[in-house]
């Protein structure tokens, strides 16, 4: 199928991929390839593919010819059509076989592509990055449905709470990014991971993005664990309270704020700087943590945020449109053989929705 009279996939030669450094957030990696196939028709006038990810959540794979021109560009998001639209498309699905070095891509134009890489030792970064993309996509599209009913809505809303796409009645109130930089290539720095925090009128959306540079060396990050700990979404009726803690005075400005914080490690990598980028926030003079509480325990903690009190006020304003968990517990229940309050209370205890102490207190109130 590939390169009948060309070179074969090399599984032994130790050769690192090439790289290009444009700025802190844009490091490209170049992988040598043997051929590029579209619907079974192979093109051997190709030299390499380039992997770039300069923006949280976005990446592209470019196929370059021996003359340095684009044979094709693949993006993971829809792009604006231009004069080169025939040579660009959006990735729908992909697959990768490290044993044969073939990258499979299906795009939004119903085309199937196969890219034969040249060196097995060169594809570690590509393999681990695409594995992260795959796991991340599965994490945020697990179709978990949460039924909510804000006070101003007459009917209940069925919300896919782990889907990053907004519900038709949902709107973003504010978005925050946390990026940490590490040493890369001498004195240069790079951002291996960024975290995105979004507050909407319905929920809190948390998302983590791993840039290819994270996998430049042997990965020390458990991606599945990272996604489990970071990609956590919850609606405003799933926590009891939110407050600011560990407040300190800081210098900051609108748009972005840099703090000179030296940490020993960040997901196994040395950290030397921390960067917060804020969208739609006013100038702040304080920094601190934001803690979400549920049933007397910490549900989630956001650390070292600028203007934590202002953010907490915004979150509480959104939460005020929902009933608290306590209000739901003491809501009157019409009694019948199937809707007996004590029976319902026992069921909630069995499901772990309330603690034993809460059960005893509510039971005492009902009996009195």
Q: What is the pLDDT of residues 127-181, one digit of tens each?
A: 889 989 988 887 655 667 888 888 888 888 988 888 888 999 999 999 999 887 7
**Is 291 within a domain?**
yes
| Backbone Cα Rg of the chain | 25
Whether 257 and 115 map to the same domain: the answer is no
**In the prediction, which pLDDT does 13 show?**
83
Do 172 and 39 lie in one domain? The reply is no
The whole-number pLDDT of residue 165 equals 85
- Angle formed by the axes of helices 341-350 and 356-367, to 10°? 180
Record the tokens describing residue 93, joined without a space.
């699905």
How far apart are the C-alpha atoms of 312 and 176, rounded to whole Å?
13
Q: Is residue 3 part of a domain?
A: no
Q: Report whether 270 contacts 183 (CB < 8 A).
A: yes
Residue 193 lies in a domain: yes
Phi-psi region of 326 (alpha: psi -120 to 50; beta: other; left: phi over 0): alpha
Q: Residues 173, 228: one domain?
A: yes
- Whole-model pTM: value is 0.71
Helix or strand run (H / E) with residue 200: strand 189-200
Residue 182 to residue 161: CA distance in whole angstroms: 32
The 10 Å CB-count burial string (b at 16+, else e) for 148-170 is bebeeeeeebebbbbbeebbeee
Which residue range is the domain that position 359 belongs to?
Answer: 332-367
- The pLDDT value given to residue 163: 83
Domains of the chain: total = 3
> Cα separation of 291 and 295, whole Å?
13
pLDDT in tens, the chain (368 residues): 444 445 788 888 878 888 887 766 678 899 999 999 998 888 889 999 999 998 888 999 999 999 889 999 999 886 654 545 678 999 999 998 888 899 999 999 999 999 999 998 888 888 889 989 988 887 655 667 888 888 888 888 988 888 888 999 999 999 999 887 766 666 666 778 889 999 999 999 998 998 888 887 655 678 888 887 777 899 999 999 999 999 998 654 554 433 333 332 233 333 333 444 445 545 547 899 999 999 889 999 999 899 999 999 999 999 999 876 555 544 444 444 455 777 777 777 666 677 777 777 887 777 76
In a domain, 44, yes or no: yes
Q: Which residues contact 60 (CB under 8 A, 6 or more apart)?
A: 51, 52, 53, 73, 74, 75, 76
**Hey, what are 53's tokens?**
């990810």
Q: Let me know the angle formed at the C-alpha of 296 by 295 and 302, rounded to the nearest 5 degrees.
A: 100
The predicted-structure confidence for 98-113, as pLDDT tens digits, reads as follows: 888 999 999 999 999 9
Residue 241 and residue 297 in one domain: yes
Residue tagged 């319905």 (tokens): 202
Q: Do the domain assignments include residue 348?
A: yes
Domain endpoint, select from 319, 342, 359: 319
């Amino acid at each position: 199928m590939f390169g009948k009279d060309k070179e074969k996939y090399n599984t032994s030669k130790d050769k690192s991929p090439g790289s290009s450094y444009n700025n802190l957030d844009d490091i490209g990696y170049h992988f040598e390839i043997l051929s590029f196939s579209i619907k079974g028709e192979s093109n051997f006038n190709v030299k390499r593919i380039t992997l770039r990810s300069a923006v949280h959540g976005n990446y592209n794979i470019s196929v370059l010819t021996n003359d340095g021109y684009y044979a094709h560009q693949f993006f993971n998001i829809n792009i604006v059509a231009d004069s080169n639209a025939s040579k660009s498309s959006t990735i729908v699905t992909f697959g990768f076989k490290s044993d044969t070095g073939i990258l499979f891509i299906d795009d939004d134009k119903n085309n199937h592509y196969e890219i034969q890489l040249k060196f097995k030792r060169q594809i570690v970064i590509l393999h681990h990055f695409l594995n992260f993309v795959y796991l991340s996509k599965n994490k945020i599209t697990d179709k978990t449905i949460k039924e909510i009913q804000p006070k101003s809505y007459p009917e209940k809303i069925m919300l896919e709470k782990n889907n990053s796409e907004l519900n038709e009645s949902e709107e973003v109130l504010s978005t925050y990014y946390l990026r940490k930089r590490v040493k890369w290539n001498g004195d240069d720095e790079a951002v291996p991971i960024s975290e995105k925090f979004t507050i909407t009128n319905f929920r809190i959306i948390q998302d983590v993005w791993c840039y290819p540079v994270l996998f430049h060396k042997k990965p020390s990050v458990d991606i599945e664990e990272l996604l489990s700990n970071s990609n956590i979404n919850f609606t405003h009726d799933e926590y009891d309270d939110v407050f600011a803690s560990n407040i300190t005075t800081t210098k900051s400005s609108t748009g972005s704020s840099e703090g000179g914080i030296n940490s020993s490690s960040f997901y196994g990598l040395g950290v030397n700087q921390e960067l917060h980028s804020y969208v739609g926030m006013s100038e702040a003079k304080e920094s601190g943590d934001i803690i979400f509480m549920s049933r007397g325990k910490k549900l989630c903690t956001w650390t070292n945020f600028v203007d934590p009190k202002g953010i907490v006020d915004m979150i509480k304003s959104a939460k005020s449109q929902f009933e608290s968990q306590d209000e739901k517990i003491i809501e009157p229940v019409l009694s019948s053989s199937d809707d007996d309050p004590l029976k319902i209370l026992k069921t909630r205890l069995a499901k772990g929705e309330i603690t034993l102490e809460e059960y005893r207190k509510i039971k005492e109130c009902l009996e009195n």
